[in-house]
Amino acid sequence: MKIEDLSNILHSDPEILGGTPVFTGTRVPVESLFAHLEGGQSIDDFLHGFPIVRREQVIALLKRSR
């Protein structure tokens, strides 16, 4: 994945949650995905709780963070 492709996954803006990285097009912090996964929840559980986040964004972020 190229650096410019990150804009399809996450966004950081001081006007949105004080600059905390969020999934692009949402106000859902990227950190919340990792908290769910660390807590033993599945990607499906996360997406159920945050239906505005696209599965493709989650998968791309996880691949990128390896």
How many domains is the chain built from?
A: 1
Q: Can you tell me the distance from the alpha carbon of 4 to that of 8, in angstroms, rounded to the nearest whole number?
A: 8
In the three-class reduction of DSSP (H, G, I as helix; E, B as strand; rest coil), residue 50 is classed as coil
In degrees and rounded to multiples of 5, residue 10 shows phi and psi of -135, 160
In tens, the pLDDT along 13-51 reads 999 999 999 999 999 999 999 999 999 999 999 999 999
**Model pTM greater than 0.85?**
yes
- Asked if residue 52 has pLDDT above 50, the reply is yes
Domain coverage including residue 39: 3-64
Q: What does the alpha-carbon distance between residue 40 and residue 13 come to, in Å, rounded to a whole number?
A: 29
Cα first-last separation, the chain = 12
CATH number for the domain that contains residue 55: 1.10.10.10
